[in-house]
Amino acid sequence: MSRPGALVTGSARGIGRGIAVGLAREGYDIAVHYRTSRAAAEATCAELEALGSRAIALEADLTDLDAGTGLVDEARERLGSLSVLVNNVGNYVYTPLAELTLEEWRDVLATNLDATFATCQAVLPIMRAAGGGRIVNIGYAGSQALVGRPDIAPYAIAKTGVVLLTKAIARAEAGNGITANVVAPGVIETSRTKPTSEIPAGRVGRIEEVVGAVLYFFSPDAEYVTGQVLEVAGGWNM
């Protein structure tokens, strides 16, 4: 029996890798996306194959919107199906707004928001033709609060855009059996900065806690859940 296919962007390491492993354990074949980390992507594929999954490593620079479309098409062609998309890729800069360069601004918006749009736009016809599918976009805890964050302005803006894009997809595609949701991590063990004193729970989050939230949206219990944001943040940024 063939297994359903899943594409996880930015899945060579970190949270994306954890999500890919979780999906493999749930019976999915996985397209592991990377931009420069080929060795890490191949190591992740080996781990997924050890779990019984068929895994392929696909390279793409998602700042190129055409590359996003090509990535989705190749994943579907090589896996045979594509019922799950997780948009995890996205660059982050911690720079005071007055020192932010236009290049940094464009890169953060391109990798977080534009890339998410491109892959979603490409996967929706595939999911419609198949009678349904699930999309989870990785956000940022607190992005719905519309609070000015001058040290991470482009990142916060991009992730707020991801939430609004996801909700638009959810409304447009609910009648086609397609759900779209956001998992919004706070400070995680892989985060570049770890302001533990600001977290009500008193600790950083674990990758597996983010993975558990993502997998919920792919479970039978979440078939009627769409357009939602699930924060995994220990009360941070509320």
Mean pLDDT within 209-228: 97
CATH number for the domain that contains residue 83: 3.40.50.720
| Residue 77 structural domain | 5-232
Alpha-carbon separation of residue 172 from 6, 55, 129, 178 (angstroms): 22, 31, 15, 9
In a domain, 13, yes or no: yes
Q: Residue 128: what pLDDT?
A: 98
Q: Which of 28, 34, 155, 224 is catalytic?
A: 155
pTM for this predicted structure = 0.95
User: Total structural domains in the chain?
Assistant: 1
In a domain, 237, yes or no: no
Q: Quick check: is 28 catalytic?
A: no
- Give just the sign of the alpha carbon dihedral 178, 79, 91, 200: positive
In a domain, 10, yes or no: yes
In a domain, 163, yes or no: yes
CA–CA distance, 138 with 154 (Å, rounded to integer): 16
44, 32 in Cβ contact below 8 A?
yes
Q: What is the pLDDT of residues 42-88, one digit of tens each?
A: 999 999 999 999 999 999 999 998 999 999 999 999 999 999 999 99
For residue 45, give every residue at least 6 positions away whose Cβ sits within 8 Å of its Cβ, in sequence order, or none.
Answer: 30, 32, 55, 56, 57
Q: What is the pLDDT of residues 141-183, one digit of tens each?
A: 988 888 888 899 999 999 999 999 999 999 999 999 999 999 9
In a domain, 43, yes or no: yes
Q: What string of DSSP letters covers 59-121?
A: E--TTSHHHHHHHHHHHHHHHS---EEEE---------GGG--HHHHHHHHIIIIIHHHHHHH
Amino acid at 212: G
In a domain, 143, yes or no: yes
In a domain, 145, yes or no: yes
In a domain, 11, yes or no: yes
